C-alpha cells in the first residue's frame, strides 16, 4: 500500500511561493534561457476548513510538498521548456495545457514518467491539468496555474501583461492611464505584481468513491455534483482571508493584476468591495486560447464558469464611497480591509451550512498614495 501524505488545506500556498524564483530574474532577459520543470503526481488526504479530510490527487514541484492546486509555474513567451511528470499515484494520469497547442502528454502509468518539450506561447494565464476522465481528475486536485509573461516590454510604452502585438488599443489605453490620469493617480502597473486565484469545489461523495478505486462511479456522480466545500487557492473562509499569497495588498496607486481561474464545476460570480475591476483578458471558449479584450468594462462582479480564466486589473484606487473631504480617513485607520466574495450564496458556506467559510477572501489598502 502506498503511503499517502496528509495535507492541511494551506499546502497549495507553499507551492505558490516555492516557484517565485522563476519570475523575477527572467523579467529582464530578452532571450529567456530554456528551463526544465519537473512535476510529480501523488495521492493525498487534504484537510478541509472544518477539519475533515478528503482523498485527492496533488501535484508537487519535484520532491517538494504536494498541493491542491499545484504550484504556480511562471514562464516567458518564447522560452523552451522541458516538462517532466512523474506519476506516483496508483492510477494512470495525463497532463495538458489547454490553449497552448502541442503541450500534452500521457497517459502515464503508475510509477511511470512522461515528458514533453515545447516553446511557450502567447502571454496570459493558463491551466495545467489532467484531462483524463474529465472532469474527474481535474476536480479531484490535478490542476494548477501557469503564468506566461512577455519576453520583453516595448520601449517607450506602458508595461502590460501581454506581448506588444497582442495588447489591444483598449488595454494599452488602460495601462497608459495608470499613474498618468486623475482617475488613477499613483504608479504604472509593475510586471509581476499579481495574485493568482484558483477556484475549486469539492463534493466529498466523489472523493470517497475515487479513494475506493471506483473511478467509473466517481465520474458518473459528477453528473449530480453537490459541492460542500468552495475553495480559493485550496483555502476557504478565514483561512483564505489570512493567506498572504491570496490576499492582494498595497497602497493607493499600486495597481495589481488578478489572474482568476475556475477548475471546478460550479459557476462563480466573484464580487469585490471597495474598488471595481477591469477585465483585460479571458479565454476563447472553443480553443481555450488567451483573448485580450479591447472593450474594457468596469465591473464589480464577474462570471467564472467552469474552466474560465480571466485577467482583471484591480486599480487600488481610493474607494469611491469615501468622500474626498474625508480622505485619508481619520477615524478608521489604515489598513482598510475589503472582502471579495462570490454572489452565488451557497458558495459562501462549507459542510452544508457553515457561514461564511466558503469562497471568500480579503484585499487590503495599506495606506494612501
Model pLDDT for residues 119-164, shown as the tens digit of each residue: 999 999 999 999 999 999 999 999 999 999 999 988 888 999 999 9
Residue 15 binned pLDDT confidence (cut-offs 50, 70, 90): very low
Residue range 183-226, pLDDT digits in tens: 999 999 999 999 999 999 999 999 999 999 999 999 999 999 99
Pick from 313, 308, 327, 331: which is nearest to 368 by CA?
327
pLDDT of residue 6: 65
CA distances from 301 to 233, 251, 328, 341, 342 (A): 19, 22, 26, 10, 8
| Dist CA 240 CA 156 (whole Å) | 38
pLDDT tens, 290-312? 999 999 999 999 999 999 999 99
DSSP string, 266-283: S-B-EEESSS-EEEEEEE
Within a 10 A sphere around the Cβ of 78, how many other Cβ atoms?
18
Among 251, 241, 278, which residue's Cα sits nearest to residue 359?
A: 241
Cell of 122: 502567447
The pLDDT score that the predictor gives to residue 4 is 65
- Residues 14 and 65 sit within 8 Å (Cβ to Cβ): yes
Per residue in 153-192, pLDDT tens? 888 889 999 999 999 999 999 999 999 999 999 999 999 9
**Mean pLDDT throughout 92-96?**
98
Q: Quote the CA–CA distance of 242 and 255 in Å, as a whole number.
A: 21
Amino acid at each position: 500500500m502506498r503511503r499517502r501524505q496528509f495535507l492541511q488545506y494551506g499546502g497549495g500556498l507553499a507551492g505558490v511561493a516555492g516557484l517565485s524564483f522563476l519570475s523575477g530574474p527572467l523579467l529582464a532577459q530578452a532571450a529567456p534561457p530554456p528551463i526544465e520543470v519537473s512535476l510529480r503526481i501523488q495521492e493525498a488526504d487534504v484537510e478541509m476548513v472544518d477539519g475533515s479530510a478528503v482523498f485527492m490527487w496533488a501535484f508537487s514541484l519535484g520532491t517538494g510538498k504536494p498541493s491542491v492546486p499545484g504550484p504556480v509555474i511562471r514562464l516567458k513567451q518564447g522560452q523552451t521548456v522541458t516538462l517532466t511528470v512523474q506519476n506516483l499515484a496508483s492510477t494512470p494520469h495525463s497532463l495538458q495545457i489547454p490553449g497552448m497547442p502541442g503541450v500534452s502528454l500521457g497517459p502515464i502509468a503508475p510509477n511511470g514518467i512522461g515528458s514533453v518539450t515545447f516553446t511557450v506561447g502567447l502571454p496570459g494565464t493558463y491551466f495545467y491539468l489532467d484531462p483524463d476522465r474529465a472532469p474527474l481528475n481535474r476536480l479531484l486536485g490535478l490542476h494548477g496555474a501557469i503564468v506566461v509573461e512577455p519576453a520583453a516590454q516595448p520601449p517607450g510604452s506602458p508595461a502590460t501583461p501581454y506581448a506588444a502585438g497582442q495588447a489591444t488599443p483598449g488595454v494599452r489605453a488602460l495601462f497608459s492611464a495608470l499613474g498618468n490620469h486623475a482617475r488613477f493617480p499613483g504608479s504604472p502597473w509593475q510586471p509581476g505584481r499579481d495574485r493568482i486565484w484558483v477556484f475549486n469545489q469539492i463534493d466529498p461523495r466523489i472523493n470517497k468513491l475515487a479513494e475506493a478505486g471506483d473511478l467509473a462511479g466517481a465520474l458518473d456522480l459528477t453528473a449530480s455534483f453537490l459541492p460542500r466545500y468552495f475553495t480559493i487557492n485550496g483555502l476557504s473562509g478565514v483561512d483564505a482571508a489570512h493567506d498572504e499569497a491570496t490576499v492582494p495588498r498595497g497602497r493607493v496607486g499600486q495597481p495589481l493584476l488578478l489572474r482568476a481561474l475556475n477548475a471546478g464545476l460550479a459557476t462563480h460570480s466573484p464580487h469585490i468591495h471597495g474598488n471595481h475591476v477591469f477585465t483585460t483578458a479571458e479565454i476563447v471558449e472553443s480553443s481555450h486560447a488567451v483573448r485580450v479584450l479591447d472593450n474594457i468594462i468596469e465591473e464589480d462582479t464577474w462570471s467564472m464558469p467552469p474552466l474560465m480564466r480571466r485577467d482583471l486589473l484591480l486599480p487600488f484606487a481610493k474607494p469611491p464611497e469615501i468622500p474626498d473631504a474625508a480622505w485619508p480617513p481619520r477615524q478608521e485607520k489604515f489598513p482598510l480591509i475589503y472582502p471579495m466574495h462570490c454572489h452565488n450564496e451557497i458558495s459562501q458556506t462549507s459542510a452544508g451550512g457553515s457561514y461564511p467559510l466558503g469562497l471568500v477572501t480579503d484585499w487590503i489598502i495599506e495606506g494612501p498614495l
